[in-house]
Amino acid sequence: MDRFVINGGARLKGKIRIDGAKNAALPIMAAALLSDGPNVIHGVPDLADVRFMGEVLGDVGARVTRDPNGDLHLSVDDEADSHAKYDRVRKMRASVCVLGPLLAKRKRARVSLPGGCQIGPRPIDLHLRGLKALGAEIELDGGDIIATCKKLRGAHIFLGGPFGSTVLGTANVMMAATLAEGRTVIESAACEPEVEDLADYLNAMGARISGAGTPRLTIDGVDKLRGAEHHVIPDRIEAGTFLVAAAITNGELTLQNCRLEHLMAVVDRLQNIGVQIDQEGGDVVVSSSRRLEPTDVTTQPFPGFPTDLQAQLMTLLCLADGNSVITEKIYPDRFMHVAELMRMGANIRREGPTAVVTGVKRLIGAPVMASDLRASAALVLAGLVARGATVIQRVYHIDRGYEAIEAKLASVGADITRVSD
């Protein structure tokens, strides 16, 4: 099992290119099941989650290959098996995205329930509600969702939930609706850039989707979809992580392939803390003052502050001059990183879905354990600035969402090494 060894204190300086968005690539890969021809997806990072999704698609008859340029080629060779099994789906929650495409294209899907995870339960009741509204019959058998239909028909569907809109639920229902008869309107649709990117890909395949990026999606069903070529948007969460990396090390980074319009809530909070962020041509340049101001932040659906950057921002606020308050409105239990940061000297008090962070003068290197993808990134950031050595165990979590993060950080001055047992 791999671990990272980080000797903190280095000031980061240089250029980093942001990869394509994992959270856009995974549903786009699933959408290829809807097509009648070959698909080429550019800019997909080589991540554990991408490989897992390729395995899930392989089980249901798709062929997924990566060429020497790094582009993914996807085509469907066999539509006989529509069962996404537990051994695959349990590795990655986004596997549930095959449910909508399989149902729409093959009229039958059997997909294992993905279950919970380290950041708390994330039920898929909204996915199933939307598919039922389109005419699917849903039953549970042995931990699997079995969805069948004779024909899907357009419907007016509300997909809001107790914690806001559902990104994967919107993706699933939107993909199913592309081949439904008539018009589907999704109210309280997720507005995230990754949903908009999926809609762009589906439209390139011949779908008729409008309103992507707004709370109301309109889908006019078509008879079939063709293969298409598409370039995945940059990963706003990776970009946000490196924005914090520059700030926490008092460094200066130039981020290439970065879209600030996808990060405005993050930019707002970072500037409030004292981080300088400038657009220079197609690049983003980030630096910070030595004194960091405290701030308050609440995670929200897009365009609000993303839950996937909550842990990273908390790490930065551990060094701010005062008290900060972070409220988690998307996944109230998403605080697995708190105990590990406290092992490094952070002063954090959790009160339900809120964490009060009192800034300290310094963090101290320590052995810590990664618990989930974004918590892992937070611990890497802490290690970059901590005095002494930090050893992070179970870094397979971070490999799910960041391609060779240690190499990127080392290229701009970090003292970080991957060690294999």
The predicted-structure confidence for 75-86, as pLDDT tens digits, reads as follows 999 998 899 988
Shortest CA distance to 95 belongs to which of 6, 156, 26, 161?
26
Question: What proportion of the chain, given as a percentage, has pLDDT over 70?
Answer: 98
3-class SS at 323?
strand
pLDDT for res 121: 47
Shortest CA distance to 238 belongs to which of 216, 258, 261?
258
DSSP code, position 307:
G
Task: Return the minimum-mean-pLDDT range out of 92-96, 315-319, 360-364, 407-411.
Answer: 92-96
CA distance 18 to 217: 29
Q: Six-digit token pair at 329?
A: 């409105």
Cβ atoms 243, 277 nearer than 8 A: yes
Give 164's pLDDT tier (boundaries 50, 70, 90): confident
DSSP code, position 113:
-
Q: What is the pLDDT of residues 304-341, one digit of tens each?
A: 999 999 999 999 999 999 999 999 999 888 999 999 99
What's the mean pLDDT in 210-221? 98
Cβ atoms 310, 298 nearer than 8 A: no
Cα dihedral 24, 30, 36, 41 in deg (nearest 10): 40
Q: Which residue has the higher pLDDT, 115 or 335?
A: 335
Q: Six-digit token pair at 420?
A: 């294999």
CATH number of 22-231: 3.65.10.10
What's the mean pLDDT in 23-31? 97
Decide if 117 is catalytic. Answer: yes
User: Does position 289 have pLDDT exceeding 80, yes or no?
Assistant: no
Q: What are phi and psi of 46, to 5 degrees?
A: -90, 85
On average, the pLDDT of the chain sits at 94
Alpha helices in 32-180 (DSSP H): 48-59, 86-89, 99-106, 125-133, 167-177
User: Does position 209 have pLDDT exceeding 50, yes or no?
Assistant: yes
User: Does position 45 have pLDDT exceeding 50, yes or no?
Assistant: yes
Give the DSSP H/E element, type plus range, for residue 75: strand 72-76
pLDDT for res 108: 97
pLDDT for res 115: 52
User: Does position 345 have pLDDT exceeding 90, yes or no?
Assistant: yes
CA distance 361 to 363: 7
* Active-site residue identified among 97, 117, 149, 258: 117
What's the mean pLDDT in 200-219? 98
Kindly list the domain boundaries of the chain, sorted by start residue: 2-19+234-420, 22-231
b/e code 47-61 from CB counts within 10 Å (16+ = b): bbbbebbbebbebbb
Fold of 2-19+234-420: UDP-n-acetylglucosamine1-carboxyvinyl-transferase; Chain (3.65.10)
Domains 2-19+234-420 and 22-231 equal at CATH topology level: yes
Can you say whether residue 334 is alpha, beta or left, with left for phi > 0 and alpha for psi between -120 and 50 degrees? beta
What's the mean pLDDT in 79-97? 85
Give 161's pLDDT tier (boundaries 50, 70, 90): confident
